[in-house]
């Protein structure tokens, strides 16, 4: 396999892994444990969950940007 194609596929796999891990983790914590929904009032657990959601998506975007920042030179 060409090294450039291998690098492209590696970056693509890392990106998909980061997004899926972020999505599954936040879905499990938010929906399954009930922190994404307000029962009668907004609680501290809800606030912590939404702060974590915001913080983790920023970190995920930074990681993805870092992965794709350097361009891949495909030789003709």
A 10 A CB-CB count for 60 gives: 17
Inter-residue contact 65 to 19 (CB < 8 Å): no
**41-71: per-residue pLDDT in tens?**
888 999 999 999 999 999 999 999 999 998 8
**What residues contact 4, with CB distance under 8 A and at least 6 apart?**
72, 73, 74, 75
Radius of gyration of the chain (CA): 18
pLDDT higher than threshold 70 for residue 76: no
A 10 A CB-CB count for 10 gives: 11
pLDDT the model gives residue 12: 97
Residue 4, both tokens: 């450039």
């Amino acid at each position: 396999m060409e090294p450039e194609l291998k690098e492209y596929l590696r970056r693509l796999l890392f990106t998909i892994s980061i997004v899926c891990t972020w999505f599954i983790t936040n879905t499990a914590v938010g929906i399954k444990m009930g922190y994404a929904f307000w029962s009668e009032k907004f609680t501290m657990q809800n606030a912590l969950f939404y702060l974590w959601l915001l913080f983790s998506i920023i970190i995920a975007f930074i990681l993805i940007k870092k992965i794709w920042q350097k361009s891949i030179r495909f030789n003709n």
